[in-house]
Structure 1
Amino acid sequence: MSSIPTTSSPAREQWSGQLGFLMAAIGSAIGLGNIWRFPGVAYTNGGGAFIVPYIVALLAAGIPFLLLDYALGHRYRGSAPAVFRRLSRRFEWLGWLQVFICFVIMTYYAVIVAWSLRYTVFSFTTAWGNDASAFFSSYIGVGELSGSSPAYFAMPVSGVVIPLLIVWFFGLYTIARGVSKGVETANKVFLPLLVLMFLILVVRALLLPGATDGLNALFTPQWGALLDHRVWMAAFGQIFFSLSIGFGIMLTYASYLRSRSNLVGTGLVAAFANSSFEVLAGVGVFATLGFMAWARGVAVSDLSGISGPSLSFVTFPTVISEMPGGALFGVLFFGSFSMAGLTSFISIIQVVAAGFSEKFGWSTPRATLVCGLPSAALSFVLFGTSSGLYDLNVVDAYINYIGVVGAAIVACVGVGIVLNRLKVLQRHLNLVSETRVVGIWWRVMIALVVPALLGVMFVQTVWSYATAGYTYSRNFEAVFGWGMLLLVAVATAVFTLLPWRTPVDSHEPVDLDVLEGVMR
């Protein structure tokens, strides 16, 4: 069968095959949020009943938007700025917005991975002793885990510096090696190891006394919660952030696929693999929490710290200290936690490096260093300090719930309504995939349903942050919350106005009529 004509540059990197792309996509989707966010979100939003809105959100928003990212990247063959520039010059800024959102995310994501690497070492001797909370506070250089009026402290935390250097070296080295030799190879090693280690951890957790109580607490349905709109918004938010969609990652990854790729099939496998791992993480986490409640003679509902940093770096170390064979359990948990973080971390860097490389005509290693070194420096200055946890909490909340959600809404409305490109993208998805299942339902979801649901979440979040604040003082959040969003907006405007050093406008997507003839 003849090859499919394409005008994309022959020098553009490609995955070695469909499997390499699939593993990279799953590796990006399975990250820290799967382990420390999903169990807590499910538990506080209806338990077993949460599975209903979760599945609806997966089918109605997660998979449709994932396919949008795939279609854009695969058809227009470029980084996020290049893809949106090729769609319309009016929308190049949206690509740069996604790039600089990723730039900010990778500055603090690296620090969390560094903490988990250090805790993997701590696990061998259960170094936190009998007071995991005080140990974590001491390790990251703060006196307590929460406070109403924190302030920025420039004092670097010595225990964070070395693991953070390791994380950044790994990330930049992997991306500099390229898509197939770097990103793909790393995921082929780390993803199977991650799944194997976590499966062992879950089996061990299920054998602990009280594990059943933990699972009952997680999965007992509270059907009344389904009448609360906040539960549905929580489900859509979890799916959205978990799949790594809307901020350039899957779009960029799909751009390295060969012309003939089963986009729909791959998207479905990646989406359901990610959700399956989230449920697996929930089983492992709550079986462990059930043991903790049993050991203390309390109900699971009386435990605190069931999500976020407290779950990973306080609650779990506490359980590890109390359980037989805790050191091995700790190594498995923090080792798998680290690998989940590393595979997601490199996908975030890839978005930024690809944007710089194509805009200025730089080689991949050069683009990686130019964008990676400043981000690494900010990582140490902002989040590797004594106030790093506070800084991280605020930046993460504002960048994700305002920046990422806002960018996704613009993408849906821009592509679906303003530019009216969904019919072309729908046809592209169907032609390159083994089954033609993408129909008008997909266009309705992208153009109307997804932006409407995300719009509600966006307005509620902006109003809440503007009127009541997030958690800390207004001045602190003005700097690290609104201030960070402002810096992203300014960088987006500047890089949009800079001239391209590569012939970005000369690219023409594959003629769909020709493609259809070849596929026959």
Structure 2
Amino acid sequence: MATATTNAPRREAFGSRNVFILSAIGSAVGLGNIWRFPYVAYEGGGGAFLIPYLCALLTAGIPLLFMDYAIGHRFRGSAPLAFRRMHRVAEPLGWWQVLICVVIATYYAVIIAWAAMYTWFSAQLVWGEGEEQSFFFTEFLQMGDVGKGGVSTQFVPQVGIPLIGVWLVVILIMALGVKRGIGRANLILMPLLTVMFAVLVVQSLFLPGAMDGLNAFFTPNWEALADPAVWASAYGHIFFSLSVAFGIMVTYASYLKRRTDLTGSGLVVAFANSGFEILAGIGVFAALGFMAQAQATDVSGVAASGIGLAFVAFPTIVSQATGGSIIGVLFFGALVFAGITSLISVLEVVVAALQDKLGWGRVRTTLVVAIPVALISIALFSTTTALAVLDTTDAFVNAFGIMAVALVAVIVVAWFLHRLPVLREHLNRRSSLRVGWFWMLLVGALAPVVLGYLFVSELRAKISTPYEGYPVWFLWIFGWGMVIALVVLAVLLALLPWSRRSHAKEDPDYDEFLVEEAYQPDAETGAVSTVPGYMTPDRTSNGGRA
């Protein structure tokens, strides 16, 4: 094997497996767990929805999570570098994921800023009883109409100032690095988030009408199981909930030590994420049950999802409940913590990619990445048309960015590069739970079918009618145009040469890893691997070493 000559800094690592697990859970547990899952489950048949949800978790979510872990840990790099080391033609997939994370970061931060302001508002009930909706859209966001005035440049101070604060906190965490920044942040924020939300759930359960909400949430509608849309909804939610195909888990897994139980860690992350979602469903619907009773209506009349749930329905609950200020502080504080842990994982995909590509130090790369992204975020989402831009970008990037790159990645890895045997063997060498042909079947056959169905369904829906009635020019800039631009830029970034100082050259971490792989016998048989290209530490085999 050639001697390593790169001047690039050695790859960072998490302090322990437990820190990695907390960080991975922090990435997976985000805003969607709190404000999306309860409503998706309610609409999908209540208690009956747990059947397709569990099927989706076991047959798609966990298998794809294992694939991400295996790619990142085996090829020891950020998403672009890991895919490049798998094969050079796959590198654009990594940059596609990086660019998606850039877009997500710009608008994810502003939702955290909203939640931070509403944490403060909750203590004083600033919005006034009965005025929650008008306060959010009119007074707080000062929402304008893109159909009349186009994209606004009017600055909204109560949004822009906390947004600047969010970015300063996140940039500091990112600059401190994987171990001192991301790891420590998750060690602090995740236990706080868990305690805060547990207290919120307990308090919600004692509200009048809470049982009506729980009955609405858990009562099974078995007829819903015959609806293919319910199953598609379960798979779609699991897919986004676990942060697969974002490049996040590939990047995080590359920071793991060589001898780490990958599948065991994946199971802990997956079931912890699902446990938090069910806990969120209990807390949210207990509170909605109280709201329904207070307004003398059914739970169906007050059930909501997303921004409507967080910034309209919950403030209403806060206004009407005894001790409502505490509920508001806990709820919006939980949104802030969940959002920050997810945002730093999204940004880490971008920082790690440029650090690998250019061979720069941590602080320099963080500033070069985060400052421009923060400026774009502030410029776009501190204005009166921020909500329309956010809504459109999120809808199109999720449907035609994340879902598309996941579909293409699975097909390329499984069908064209035939790397599933390599990844399976890597998982089995290190894990308490061994995977076999059934895992390969789920990833290589079931996942493409499900992702393809979801992608085509979204495509038909978006083509049939203009999304939310927004102007066509607006949808082409922040919707279709954004989706196309991500693919084009991903290819262009892959064509750019890697720096001489980059980790793509003779990286000591990766070289030592290959040597260890080459001489590590199978735990059960004692034999070395016979998978082509698996243990080859030379520069020409192993699918595209730079």
TM-score (norm 2): 0.91
Once the two structures are superposed, the pairs formed by residues 57-72 of structure 1 within 5 Å of their partners are 57-72=56-71
Q: Residue in 1 aligned with 2:482?
A: 484
Measure, in 2, the Cα distance between the counterparts of 1:388 and 1:402. Answer: 21
d(CA) in 2 for partners of 1:163, 1:372 = 16
Is it true that 1:439 corresponds to 2:436 in the alignment?
yes
Q: Report SS of the residue matched to 1:93.
A: helix
* Equivalent-residue separation in structure 1 for 2:146 and 2:327 (angstroms): 31
Question: What's the counterpart of residue 239 of structure 1?
Answer: 238
490-499 or 157-166, larger mean C-alpha shift: 490-499
Q: CA deviation at 1:208?
A: 0.6
Q: Aligned to 1:245, what secondary structure does the other structure show?
A: coil
Q: 1:243 to 1:148 in 2, by over 3 A?
A: farther
Greater shift, 90-99 or 474-483, is seen at 474-483
Aligned mates of 1:427, 1:386 — CA distance in 2: 53
Q: Distance in 1 between matches of 2:148 and 2:439?
A: 46
| 1:381 alignment partner AA | A
Alpha carbons of 1:504 and 1:143: their partners in 2 closer, same or farther (altered >3 Å)? closer
| Aligned-partner Cα distance in 1 for 2:133–2:158 | 16
AA partner of residue 364 (structure 2): R
Aligned length: 512
Q: Identify the residue that residue 533 of structure 2 maps to in structure 1.
A: none
Q: Which residue of 1 aligns with 2:540?
A: none
1:457 aligns with 2:491: no
Q: Deviations over 1:420-477 (max 9, x none)?
A: 01111101101111332x1111100111100110101101111221232321322221
Which residue does the alignment assign to 2:249? 250
**8 A Cα contact 2:45 2:225, kept in partner:** yes
CA distance in structure 2 between the aligned counterparts of 1:7 and 1:447, rounded to whole angstroms:
37
Q: Is the 8 A contact 2:27 2:342 kept in 1?
A: yes
* Residue ranges of structure 1 left out of the alignment (5+ in a row): 1-5
Cα offsets for 1:326-372 (capped at 9, x unmatched) = 11111111111110001001000100000011111111111111111
Match of 1:299 in 2: 298
Q: Is 2:347 the partner of 1:342?
A: no
Shift of the alpha carbon at 1:243?
A: 0.6
Structure 2: how far apart are the matches of 1:143 and 1:503?
A: 46
Aligned to 2:532: none
Letter in 2 for 1:118: M
Q: Is the 8 A contact 2:9 2:359 kept in 1?
A: no
* Aligned residue runs from structure 1 range 30-49, under 5 A: 30-49=29-48
Counterparts of residues 86-485 of structure 1 (less than 5 Å) = 86-130=85-129, 131-143=131-143, 151-304=150-303, 306-436=304-434, 438-473=435-470, 474-485=472-483
In the alignment, residue 346 of structure 1 is paired with which amino acid? I
Q: Does the residue aligned with 1:471 lie in a helix, a strand or coil?
A: helix
Contact kept, 8 Å, 2:70 with 2:427, in 1: the verdict is: yes
On the 8 A contact 2:115/2:332 being kept in 1, the answer is yes
Contact 1:34-1:242 at 8 Å conserved across structures: yes
Q: Please state how far the C-alpha of 1:516 moved relative to its aligned partner.
A: 2.7
Aligned partner of residue 515 in structure 1, secondary structure: coil
Q: AA paired with 2:357?
A: K
Structure 1, 29-38 or 151-160: larger mean CA deviation = 151-160
CA contact 1:149–1:472 (8 Å) conserved in 2: no
Q: Structure 1, residues 369-423: CA drift from partner, whole Å, max 9, x if none?
A: 1111111111112222111111101100100111000110111111111000111
The residue that corresponds to 1:3 in the other structure is: none
1:62-115, Cα deviation, whole Å (9 max, x unpaired):
000000000000000000000011111111000000000000000000000000
Q: Which residue of 1 aligns with 2:73?
A: 74
Q: Supply the distance in 2 between the matched residues of 1:279 and 1:354 (Cα, whole angstroms).
A: 32
Distance 2:232 2:316 in 1: 32
Q: 1:143 to 1:495 in 2, by over 3 A?
A: closer
Task: State the 1:297 CA deviation.
Answer: 1.1
SS of the equivalent of 1:386 reads: coil
Contact 2:246 2:402 in 1 (8 A): yes
C-alpha displacement at 1:10, in angstroms? 7.8
Residues 432, 150 of structure 1: CA spacing in aligned structure 2 closer, same or farther, 3 A cutoff?
A: farther
Residue 19 of structure 1 is matched in structure 2 by 18
- For residues 193 and 84 of structure 2, the distance between their equivalents in structure 1, rounded to whole angstroms, comes to 37
CA shift digits 1:110-146 (9 cap, x unpaired): 00000001111111101111111011013443358x9
> 48-57 or 492-501, which moves further after superposition?
492-501
| RMSD of equivalent CA atoms | 1.9
- Say if 1:151 and 1:221 are closer, same or farther in 2 by CA, change over 3 A: farther
1:514 aligns with 2:519: yes
Q: Is the 8 A contact 2:429 2:523 kept in 1?
A: no
Work out whether residues 100 and 402 of structure 2, in 8 Å CA contact, stay in contact via their aligned partners in 1.
Answer: yes
Are the aligned partners of 2:9 and 2:361 in contact in 1 as well (CA < 8 Å)? no
Which amino acid letter does the alignment assign opposite residue 87 of structure 1? M
Unaligned runs of at least 5 residues, structure 2: 527-546
- CA deviation profile, 1:210-250 (whole Å, cap 9, x unmatched): 00000111111111111111101100011011111111001
Counterpart code for 2:504 = V
Retained in 1: the 8 A contact 2:119–2:333? yes
Say whether the 8 Å CA contact 1:23–1:191 is kept in structure 2.
yes
Q: Tell me, what secondary structure is at the counterpart of 1:479?
A: helix
Whole-angstrom CA distance in 2 between matches of 1:99 and 1:143: 30
Shifted more, 132-141 versus 361-370: the winner is: 132-141
